[in-house]
Structure 1
Amino acid sequence: MRGVFHYRDGRLSAGPVALAEIAAAVGTPAFVYSADAIVARYRAMTGALAAEGLDATVCYAVKANPHLAVVSTLAREGAGADVVSEGELLRAQAAGIPGQRTVFAGVGKTEAEMAAGLEAGILQFNVESEVELRTLDRVARDKGLRAPVSLRINPDVDARTHAKITTGTSENKFGIDHAQAGAIARQAADLPGIDLTGLAVHIGSQLVDLAPYALAFEKLAQLFAELRTAGLPLQRLDLGGGIGISYRDEQPPEVADYARVAARAVRDLGVPVIFEPGRWMVGDAGVLLTRVVFVKQGVKKRFVIVDAAMNDLIRPTLYDAWHDILPLARPAPEAPSQPVDIVGPICESGDLFATDRALPPVRPGDLLAICSAGAYGATMASTYNSRLPAPEILVAGADWAVIKARPDHATLLAQESLPAWLAPEADQEEPLHAGSRAAS
């Protein structure tokens, strides 16, 4: 195992805490996060950037794992926040991240979200189009404020990652085309409700190659220098996030090498720089615990049916993503492995976590850990098939706490309501004919 999750006395553990003990207490499926692993990643990144002499602010990408306890853990370390909705902005504030350390990104901000960001006094809006810029100008003027803006530039750089999470090519919906950036920057500088502060870039997620970063950073730095020479009041750069983790056999860059590439591109500009890691900060810090329900021998395949499902972790279905899967009890060295499909109970053929995966023998009741589930796991979950959401647990040292309990079915049903004509008492009344309510 990587990092904080390891076998200790034959039991898969988070630091000194055996994951089986957590499963026994809260049931399965359940997400478990390591605060120690999250803090270690944050300190590694800030240390690497400082070593390169960069005046850097690390704004955690809240979308990766928005739980208040996770965001609060990073807030206590001094992290800022990268948010893409009013809800994430409110979470960041509730977790203790001030507005002046918050970046509001996203291609489709509503006027209400713009107003919320202005009221929070955020560090900057990353603006992605001319129409967004003019809308933000109007919203700011209506409030008697000026909106701090960095223009997100689309550098037309292929991130060489999954097609659904690449964001920096001309075919993607994100950012302002590099060729149009100068004209839009000059417009921004002239708008009375806009305070043009910088340029931003983000080319995708789960990058494991530094070459696309180097090209995008160099393009952005060159544009920044040109616009500043032309008299535009640019003060800082936002280099985004996207560093990958090793789900299977990927070889993501060392954070020190990433920092070196960034510094090489922007150091001579002498301006503050923002970084927005998400998955890299929390992905390896989480696992999804699940219990074997049945082992089924099919005609051609052997199926391990577990109590977690695609509604808990959709990445394998959505992205064909690989997650290592380990027994919580360490197998004997001589234990034979055989290929199995590890699947959930949902009525979809796509409800699976692995196909033809080598796994030691397991029996109903055995516990498994689906690894690297700290990012884009619980936050993308649903209640499909009316399944209860998995609880979330945070481990810090030898302590652990339930940070989001599993609701019961009554709680979920209570969130819904029946219209008057379907209420139980309506059955005692004469039914309405079509159009009769409108006529009355």
Structure 2
Amino acid sequence: MTPFTLPGEPHIHYANGHLQMEDCRLDNLAATHGTPLFVYSKASMLAALAAYQRGFAERKSQICYAMKANSSLAVLQVFAQAGCGFDIVSGGELERALAAGADPAKIIFSGVGKTRQEMRRALAAGIGCFNVESEAEIDVLNAVALAENKVAPISIRVNPNVDPKTHPYISTGLKGNKFGIAHESTLATYQHAASLPGLAVVGIDCHIGSQITQEAPYLDAMDRMLDLVAAIEAAGIPIHHIDFGGGLGIDYQGDTPPSADTLWAKLLTKLDARGFGQRLLMIEPGRSLVGNAGVCLTEVLFMKPGEQKNFCIVDAAMNDLPRPALYQAYHAIVPLEQSKQARADSPVCDVVGPVCESGDWIGHDRPLAVQAGDRLAVLSAGAYCMSMSSNYNSRPRAAEVLVDGSSAHLIRKRDNLADQMRGEQLL
């Protein structure tokens, strides 16, 4: 049998014929906790973080985990204990980060639609920075801060009009996207913000997209950002930190994104050459820290042959794993038993869930040598799966387990019907 290791992920591998994560057999976890089940490797998350830490060695830097990728409390706790800050996009994410032990001064608040209530709560918590995204938001935040007798630290998110070469739904730095201030309007916007008494300009921010697998978009965006920093400071407005966002991709299907330390070695060379190497640098990685650290375990319910398609019907669905339906995303799917790996003559199937939607699919045209009762692992499921999951079709949200060596910790119980109906009332 050919050895298998998830590309770029040594913490998930076959051992003695069984797929395991670190030192835990995944079939044992599925038997204990049921399926669908999300399982995450702590070692994998910390190894991904270490690549960024190596990249920023001996630099003034702050790594803020973009928690929208996976906001489960124990995952946040791992990164908080490792010294990370957090990039949040809602009041709910603020409360989760604080509950997980985050340092408020290391929290940055991004997003185009912050409410006044969210602004007030973030000011009261003492967060490090608001990444503001429109002139209207600047004026509202100024008014809220003055009413609270506080000064809001801000950076302005710039839209550099750089194509990240990724899926259009996760491209955020082009003129047609809803995010940030247009490159051409940035200086005037900074001058306006600097004139307001409730705001303190502390930085500049840029985020061009997600699942980026090439270096060129980052290098292009950095050039445009540094041009703006020079122009803003020439106008008398000091910029204390430069935030380059996140977006670095992972390997889903033979993707070859640069490693974080390799990418940042090139970016830091450019920073040094332009005289900005000693600034406080901030970044907001999400998917690249957690994506390949997680799997979703699922059981085969039925094999359904058809005239045009064969179907492998599993107990995980689009409510658990929304990325395929939303982005036509690819996830590798492998059996938990190594002997069940596909052979040359294995039937090709669509792997689909029980939800009453034709869009409820996990993988198209996959060769499989499994039968009802076998279990599969959907790989690279650590990012934008559980955090985007739902109770559609009144299905319970999955349980989650965090693996640390030979220990496995249940970090979220599976929903029950009472959880789903809590807050609802009959007439």
Q: What is the TM-score of this pair, normalised by structure 2?
A: 0.95
Contact 1:127 1:151 in 2 (8 A): yes
Cα distance in 1, alignment partners of residues 374 and 65 from structure 2: 36
Verify: 1:18 aligned to 2:34, yes or no.
no
Verify: 1:351 aligned to 2:356, yes or no.
no
SS in 1 for 2:20: strand
What is the CA distance between 1:413 and its match in structure 2? 2.9
SS in 1 for 2:121: helix
Give the aligned residue type for 1:15. E
Verify: 1:157 aligned to 2:166, yes or no.
no
Give the aligned residue type for 2:50. R
Which structure would you say has the larger Rg?
1
**What's 1:299 paired with?**
307
Q: What is the TM-score of this pair, normalised by structure 1?
A: 0.93
Cα distance in 2, alignment partners of residues 358 and 192 from structure 1: 63
Aligned with residue 112 of structure 1, among 111, 114, 117? 117
Aligned with residue 383 of structure 2, among 371, 375, 388? 375
- 1:399-438 aligned within 5 A: 399-419=407-427
Cα distance in 2, alignment partners of residues 205 and 333 from structure 1: 31
**What's 2:370 paired with?**
362
What is the CA distance between 1:40 and its match in structure 2? 1.1
What is the CA distance between 1:221 and its match in structure 2? 1.1
**What's 1:434 paired with?**
none
Give the aligned residue type for 1:347. C
Aligned with residue 237 of structure 2, among 232, 244, 250? 232
Contact 1:54 1:263 in 2 (8 A): no
SS in 2 for 1:251: coil
Aligned with residue 391 of structure 1, among 390, 399, 405? 399
Contact 1:316 1:353 in 2 (8 A): yes
Contact 1:213 1:261 in 2 (8 A): no
What is the CA distance between 1:11 and its match in structure 2? 0.5
SS in 1 for 2:56: helix
Cα distance in 1, alignment partners of residues 418 and 201 from structure 2: 50
Aligned with residue 133 of structure 1, among 115, 133, 138? 138
What is the CA distance between 1:332 and its match in structure 2? 6.3
**What's 1:39 paired with?**
46
Structure 1's unaligned 5+ residue stretches are 420-440
Cα distance in 2, alignment partners of residues 48 and 15 from structure 1: 25
> Which deviations, in whole Å up to 9, do the C-alpha atoms of 1:352-403 show, x marking residues without a partner?
11111122x1110000000000000111111111111110111111101111
SS in 2 for 1:331: helix
SS in 2 for 1:22: helix
Cα distance change on mapping 1:388 and 1:253 into 2, 3 Å: same
> Which deviations, in whole Å up to 9, do the C-alpha atoms of 1:228-269 show, x marking residues without a partner?
122112111000000000100211112122112321333322
How many pairs are equivalent? 416
Aligned with residue 337 of structure 1, among 319, 322, 346? 346
Contact 1:221 1:265 in 2 (8 A): no
Cα distance in 2, alignment partners of residues 303 and 332 from structure 1: 17
What is the CA distance between 1:212 and its match in structure 2? 0.6
> Which deviations, in whole Å up to 9, do the C-alpha atoms of 1:317-376 show, x marking residues without a partner?
1100000000000026794433111111111111111111122x1110000000000000
Contact 2:342 2:367 in 1 (8 A): no
Cα distance in 1, alignment partners of residues 224 and 342 from structure 2: 54
Verify: 1:77 aligned to 2:86, yes or no.
no
SS in 1 for 2:47: helix
Give the aligned residue type for 1:279. R
Larger deviation, residues 75-84 vs 247-256: 247-256
Contact 1:343 1:353 in 2 (8 A): yes
What is the CA distance between 1:36 and its match in structure 2? 1.1
Give the aligned residue type for 1:197. V
Cα distance change on mapping 1:333 and 1:364 into 2, 3 Å: closer
Cα distance change on mapping 1:6 and 1:252 into 2, 3 Å: same
Cα distance change on mapping 1:131 and 1:299 into 2, 3 Å: same
Larger deviation, residues 267-276 vs 18-27: 267-276
Contact 2:335 2:341 in 1 (8 A): no
Aligned with residue 215 of structure 2, among 196, 203, 210? 210
> Which deviations, in whole Å up to 9, do the C-alpha atoms of 1:182-228 show, x marking residues without a partner?
01101111100010011100000000011010000111012112211
